[in-house]
């Protein structure tokens, strides 16, 4: 009975983790942009705690997804160092911002992020390095900082920002960009989660089953992300993001 009761109480976060793990591996993102709205709209978790808890849940999901790309040689470690340097600093700044922004504004910001994410997924970028040398390195650090702020504030890994930035500023192909993004997200999630934990923002009873459930799903997501055509999956998921964004915006009224 205790085992059955525990399973029933964790069924929702487990389902959230399965969805997030699949998307994390397939798209090279942490999965927070789907975890947060599911926490808020489906599970009724407080908006700010949802953002912090999402970031904690992302840690094991992103790690396994990144590992899948790394063993295939699909991570650019030079770019990883630069983006991670900026994201770790940015994540701590984002955590501090979360305490200062009202919930209504936070919902609107997150809804806008979802729409931007959907549009970015519909935009099929091709490897094309816009800048090089020192300028490229500085840009990657700056992108990492921006993604880190988004992670700490909104509970997302920042992959929606990092992936296209790696393609356009480092000339990486989309698969390597996704793998590198996931490797960055691991460090970002750890840094941001430590900061959130110190402030008592994380609901670990939700984060742990979400993160653990996401691990097996991330294996399948990684396989799909490296084998299936992107256009159909990206279009379908973009529609889901837009509908979720509209629902989140309506809840802020």
Count Cβ neighbours within 10 Å for each residue of 198-228 and write b for 16 or more, e otherwise. eeebbbeebbbbbbbbbbebbbebbeebbee
Check whether 165 has a pLDDT greater than 70: yes
Give residue limits of the domains in the chain.
2-251
Q: Give every CB contact of residue 135 below 8 A, 6+ residues apart in sequence.
A: none
Share of the chain above pLDDT 70, in %: 87
Mean pLDDT for all residues in the chain: 84
User: Burial of 231 by CB count in 10 Å (0-12 exposed, 13-18 middle, 19+ buried)?
Assistant: exposed
| Lowest mean per-residue pLDDT among 12-21, 38-47, 107-116, 158-167 | 158-167
Check whether 1 has a pLDDT greater than 50: no
Check whether 37 has a pLDDT greater than 50: yes
pLDDT tens per residue, range 118-131: 776 676 555 556 66
pLDDT tens per residue, range 71-125: 999 999 999 999 999 999 999 999 999 989 988 888 888 888 878 777 766 765 5
| Lowest mean per-residue pLDDT among 61-70, 108-117, 186-195 | 108-117
Q: Which residue has the higher pLDDT, 52 or 4?
A: 52
pLDDT tens per residue, range 191-243: 999 999 999 999 999 999 999 999 999 888 878 777 777 676 667 667 777 87
Full DSSP string of 85-139: HHHHHHHHHHHHHHTTS-HHHHHHHHHHHHHHHHHHHHS---------HHHHHHH
Q: pTM for the complete prediction?
A: 0.81
Check whether 2 has a pLDDT greater than 90: no
Check whether 3 has a pLDDT greater than 50: no
Q: Which residue has the higher pLDDT, 233 or 143?
A: 143
């Amino acid at each position: 009975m205790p085992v059955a009761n525990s399973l029933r109480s964790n069924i929702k976060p487990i389902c959230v983790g399965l969805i997030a793990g699949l998307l994390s591996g397939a798209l090279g993102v942490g999965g927070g942009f789907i975890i947060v709205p599911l926490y808020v709209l489906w599970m009724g978790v407080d908006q700010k705690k949802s953002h912090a808890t999402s970031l904690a849940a992302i840690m094991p999901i992103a790690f396994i997804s990144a590992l899948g790309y790394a063993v295939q040689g699909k991570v650019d470690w030079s770019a990883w160092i630069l983006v991670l340097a900026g994201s770790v600093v940015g994540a701590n700044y984002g955590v501090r911002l979360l305490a200062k922004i009202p919930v209504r504004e936070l919902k609107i910001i997150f809804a806008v992020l979802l729409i931007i994410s959907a549009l970015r997924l519909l935009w099929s970028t091709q490897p094309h390095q816009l800048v090089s040398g020192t300028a490229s390195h500085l840009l990657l650090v700056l992108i990492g900082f921006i993604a880190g702020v988004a992670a700490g504030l909104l509970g997302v890994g920042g992959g929606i920002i990092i992936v296209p930035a790696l393609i356009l500023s480092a000339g990486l192909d989309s698969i390597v960009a996704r793998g590198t993004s996931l490797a960055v997200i691991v460090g970002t999630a750890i840094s941001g989660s430590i900061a959130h934990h110190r402030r008592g923002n994380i609901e670990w009873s939700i984060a742990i089953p979400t993160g653990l459930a996401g691990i097996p799903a991330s294996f399948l997501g990684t396989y799909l992300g490296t084998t299936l055509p992107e256009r159909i999956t990206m279009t379908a998921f973009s529609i889901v993001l837009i509908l979720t964004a509209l629902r989140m915006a309506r809840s802020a009224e």
